[in-house]
C-alpha cells in the first residue's frame, strides 16, 4: 500500500483543528493520551527546571506546549506543524499562556530550518510515526539531537510497534478490541485502515537504540500501554 503523502496528512489535519484542541475528545483512540502528556512534560521540567526554549514538533493545536507552560512559565516556544489552521490555533492558545516569545513555522520538521543547540526541551507528540524508512528516522533523530542544548531533552509520546511479529499482531488485536469498544466494528475497521494508510510507527526499542546511536547520553521509558508509549532521551 502507498502511504499517505505529506500533503494528504496536512489536508486531513487542516479539517480537524477543533477536535484536536480538546484532549478529552480529540484523542480517544490514543490510549493514555493524558497520562503520557503529563509524564513527558513533568519529566522535562525535572530534567531542565530552568528551561528557556521549547520546541514543539507537530504541535497540532498546542496541547503539549500548554501543558509544558503549566509547569514551566514563560518559555520561549517554537511551534512546528504541517497544518496552517492547527498552527493558528496553537499560536492563539500558547500566546495567552506565556510572556515568552511564540514563533510558528509551517512545514515538515525534516525540512524547516532551526537553530542548533538552542532548545532545552523538544516535545514530539503523536508525530514521529509519520516518518518512513530507516534513513528518514535516523536523519530526523540526528537533527533533533543537534537542535538541543547539551543537557536538554527530547520527549516523545507516540504510536509504537513491537519487534516480535507475533507479539505485534497480538498487541494490535488488543488495540482493535479497544477501538471496537469505543465505537463498534465499523469504527475499528476505519481506525485500523487509517493507521495502515497514514502511519509507519517503529518500536520503542528501535527508537531508544536510535537515540543512543545519534548521541543521547541517557534514554528513559516513562510509560507503555499496548501500542502507545512515552519515552525520551537526554543529550
Residue 131, classified by CB atoms within 10 Å of its CB into exposed (0-12), middle (13-18) or buried (19+), is buried
Is pLDDT at 27 greater than 90 in this prediction? no
How do strand 218-225 and strand 228-234 relate by DSSP bridges? antiparallel
CB atoms within 10 A of CB 179: 20
Instruction: Tell me the residue length of the chain.
Output: 235
pLDDT at 21: 58
Mean pLDDT, the chain, rounded, equals: 92
Q: Which domains can be identified in the chain, with CATH numbers?
A: 6-161+201-234 (3.40.50.150)
For residue 103, the number of C-alpha atoms closer than 13 Å in the C-beta half-sphere is 15
Task: Write out pLDDT tens, residues 129-149.
Answer: 999 999 999 999 999 999 999
pLDDT at 7: 73
Q: Radius of gyration over alpha carbons of the chain, in Å?
A: 17
For 11-15, 111-115, 188-192, which range has the lowest pLDDT when averaged over its residues?
11-15
Question: Per-residue confidence at 6, pLDDT binned at 50, 70, 90?
Answer: confident
pTM: 0.93
Query: Residue 28's pLDDT is what?
Result: 73
Please give the angle made by the CA atoms of 17, 154 and 28, to the nearest 5 degrees: 35
Q: What is the pLDDT of residues 78-107, one digit of tens each?
A: 999 999 999 999 999 999 999 999 999 999
In DSSP terms, 94 is beta-bridged to none
Can you say how many angstroms the Cα of residue 94 is from the centroid of all Cα atoms in its chain? Answer: 17
Q: How far apart are CA 95 and CA 235, in angstroms?
A: 28
> Count of alpha carbons within 13 Å of 123, Cβ hemisphere only?
29
Cβ-contact 222, 42 below 8 angstroms: no
Amino acid at each position: 500500500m502507498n502511504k499517505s503523502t505529506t500533503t494528504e496528512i496536512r489536508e486531513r489535519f487542516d479539517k480537524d483543528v477543533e477536535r484536536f484542541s480538546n484532549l478529552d475528545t480529540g484523542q480517544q483512540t490514543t490510549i493514555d493520551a493524558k497520562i503520557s502528556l503529563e509524564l513527558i512534560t513533568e519529566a522535562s521540567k525535572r530534567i531542565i527546571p530552568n528551561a528557556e526554549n521549547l520546541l514543539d514538533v507537530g504541535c497540532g493545536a498546542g496541547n503539549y506546549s500548554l501543558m509544558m507552560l503549566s509547569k514551566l512559565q514563560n518559555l520561549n516556544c517554537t511551534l512546528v506543524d504541517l497544518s496552517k489552521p492547527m498552527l493558528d490555533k496553537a499560536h492563539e492558545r500558547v500566546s495567552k499562556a506565556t510572556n515568552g516569545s511564540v514563533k510558528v513555522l509551517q512545514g515538515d520538521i525534516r525540512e524547516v530550518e532551526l537553530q542548533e543547540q538552542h532548545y532545552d526541551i523538544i516535545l514530539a507528540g503523536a508525530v514521529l510515526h509519520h516518518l518512513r524508512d530507516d534513513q528518514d528516522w535516523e536523519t530526523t533523530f540526528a537533527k533533533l539531537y543537534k537542535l538541543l542544548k547539551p543537557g536538554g531533552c527530547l520527549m516523545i509520546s507516540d504510536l509504537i510497534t513491537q519487534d516480535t511479529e507475533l507479539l505485534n499482531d497480538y498487541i494490535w488485536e488488543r488495540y482493535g478490541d479497544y477501538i471496537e469498544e469505543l465505537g463498534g466494528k465499523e469504527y475499528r475497521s476505519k481506525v485500523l485502515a487509517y493507521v495502515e494508510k497514514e502511519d509507519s510507527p517503529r518500536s520503542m526499542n528501535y527508537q531508544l537504540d536510535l537515540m543512543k546511536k545519534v548521541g543521547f547520553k541517557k534514554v528513559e521509558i516513562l510509560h507503555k500501554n499496548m501500542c502507545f508509549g512515552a519515552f525520551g532521551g537526554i543529550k
